[in-house]
Structure 1
Amino acid sequence: MKKIRGRMDESILVCVFYGPNGERLIKRGNKLAEMLDCPLYILTVDALPFDEFDAEKSAYVERWKELADEFGAEEFVIRDNESRPSAKVIAEVAHDLNITQIVIGQTARSRWEEITKGSFMNSLLREIPFADFHVVSVDRTIKGDEHEEFEKGVRCYLVKDADTYKISFSQTKECQYEGIFFKEIGTDFNNGIFKFMHNNKLYQVEVTDDRIEEPGVVRSCIEKVPSLK
């Protein structure tokens, strides 16, 4: 049930993706909405159509819907089957809903990497200069592991998308190459690294918002690999 909010010059948008961090973000957004006595919105973005979500994704969505109802959110927004970068989708929703503050999860990318290669947050700041951001950090319980910044790897596929590549977790006729995707801990979108084998040598490229950052490297390494078609 929606709560009647007294203040309408402020509004909160919580951006969630798949994983345990989503519930934490929603709770943080609700606290801000209660403090400011303003409307609360929750958004999730996915490249897949809703009816192709697996059981785990569907379970997360149902839980977020429960929280949205429990906290009296104005709306739980699902933008599925999206081919656009997530930052542009978030910007569009934020503009349409007159959002003034956005809650998002922390990326695990190091400060040096952000300086030299940019970050998803920088993309958001460029797309949404009219809103304030609240970046929720993620506690790291594993120390000393070289992969401590990444979740367990999952099988993933590359799909040619104009002059670049994007990752897909479902094998379809459009998929061309196969590898393992390691998602950054704490990020709410598909940021991380994609590893693949070519001529018995392991390669890896960075992924930002579903897309390969250096498509030229991918082309030079794997366009000679037989397609999965």
Structure 2
Amino acid sequence: MKHVKITDESILVCVYYGLNGERLIRRGHKLATLLDCPLYILTVDTKPLDAFDAEKSGYIEKWTQLAEELEVEKFIIRDNEKRPIQKVISEVAKENNITQIIVGQSAQSRWEEITKGSFLNVLLKEVPFVDFHIVSVNRPIEDEAYGTYEKGVRAYVIRDIENYKIVFTCPKSESLEGIFFKEIGTDFDNGIFKFSFANKMHEITIKEGFVSNPHLIHAILSPAQ
């Protein structure tokens, strides 16, 4: 369901390929929720969509799923684009009445130019009504709702009598594979476990090595006969 706009605010998140795209999108969603306004996502590429390699296509698929999950207003893909990025962002901002733009501070490839003063100066002249949020992406995954986490590691969730626990070596028993992000500053396996199921990303809390809320895991590893 699309957002019914009741304020004058609209947020645009600019993402490029890499693991920080989801962070930027979720940051934009959090801000859009606080302001009760629509959220747009934009990615730009010089190649046509059908020429994307497997890695790029994978990111597009993940971001599309995340956009559906968060019910964003629109996920905009500008492929086969030869114009300067600031021109494309400016055009999209004007077309969608954007008032706030979120970009990554150290994104790779063509997005590097967004952190330069010249880029911001040009863009501010073209869309002077826009506020910019420059988000650092050179730090551990962080979310105010969960705290700060170490770099993610591959992990598995397995059944343990009446509960489910996390292990870090591939088990012989039935398991669920994903990425575990451990809380910084704890000696226990506390953190979050992210995994993909039914073409959607899911996230569960781990406390002292065990799944806090096992209902979803139980439904996956112990489906009804």
Instruction: Please state which band the TM-score falls in when normalised by the shorter chain.
Output: 0.5 to 0.7
Q: In structure 2, the residue corresponding to 1:133 is in which secondary structure?
A: strand
1:78-89 to structure 2, matched below 5 A, reads 78-89=77-88
Q: In structure 2, the residue corresponding to 1:38 is in which secondary structure?
A: coil
**Does 2:76 correspond to 1:73?**
no
Encode CA deviations 1:135-175: one digit per residue, 9 max, x unaligned: 1112357xxxxxxxxxxxxxxxxxxxxxxxxxxxxxxxxxx
Partner residue, 2:201: none
Q: Which runs of 5+ in 2 are unaligned?
A: 108-112, 141-225
Distance 1:118 1:12, change over 3 A: closer
Distance 1:124 1:49, change over 3 A: same
Structure 1 letter corresponding to 2:31: L
- Decide whether the 8 Å contact of 1:8 with 1:39 is kept in 2: no
**Does 2:133 correspond to 1:131?**
no
Partner residue, 1:98: 97
Partner residue, 1:21: 20
Q: In structure 1, the residue corresponding to 2:57 is in which secondary structure?
A: helix
TM-score, with normalisation over the residues of structure 2? Answer: 0.55
**Does 2:28 correspond to 1:34?**
no
Structure 2 letter corresponding to 1:2: K
1:153-192 to structure 2, matched below 5 A, reads none
Distance 1:87 1:43, change over 3 A: same
Partner residue, 2:119: 120
Distance 1:127 1:107, change over 3 A: farther
| Percent pairwise identity | 67
- Decide whether the 8 Å contact of 2:13 with 2:24 is kept in 1: yes
- Decide whether the 8 Å contact of 1:48 with 1:81 is kept in 2: yes
Encode CA deviations 1:3-55: one digit per residue, 9 max, x unaligned: 445x2311011111111111110000000100000011111111110100111
Quick one: distance in 1 between partners of 2:139 and 2:50?
A: 33
Quick one: distance in 2 between partners of 1:80 and 1:48?
A: 6
- Decide whether the 8 Å contact of 1:2 with 1:69 is kept in 2: no
Quick one: distance in 2 between partners of 1:106 and 1:39?
A: 23
Structure 1 letter corresponding to 2:37: C
- Decide whether the 8 Å contact of 1:13 with 1:103 is kept in 2: yes
Which is bigger in relative contact order (C-alpha 8 A, separation at least 6)? Answer: 1
Quick one: distance in 2 between partners of 1:87 and 1:123?
A: 8
Quick one: distance in 1 between partners of 2:19 and 2:119?
A: 20
Quick one: distance in 2 between partners of 1:139 and 1:21?
A: 9
Quick one: distance in 1 between partners of 2:25 and 2:31?
A: 10
Quick one: distance in 2 between partners of 1:97 and 1:2?
A: 14
Structure 2 letter corresponding to 1:131: V
Encode CA deviations 1:170-214: one digit per residue, 9 max, x unaligned: xxxxxxxxxxxxxxxxxxxxxxxxxxxxxxxxxxxxxxxxxxxxx
How far the C-alpha of 1:130 sits from its partner, in A, is 1.5
How far the C-alpha of 1:129 sits from its partner, in A, is 1.3
Q: CA RMSD in A?
A: 2.2
Query: Aligned residue pairs: how many?
Result: 134
TM-score, with normalisation over the residues of structure 1? Answer: 0.54
Q: Which runs of 5+ in 1 are unaligned?
A: 109-113, 142-229
Quick one: distance in 2 between partners of 1:139 and 1:46?
A: 22
Partner residue, 2:2: 2
When Rg is computed on C-alpha atoms for both structures, the one with the higher figure is 2
How far the C-alpha of 1:66 sits from its partner, in A, is 0.9
Structure 2 letter corresponding to 1:18: Y
Structure 1 letter corresponding to 2:2: K
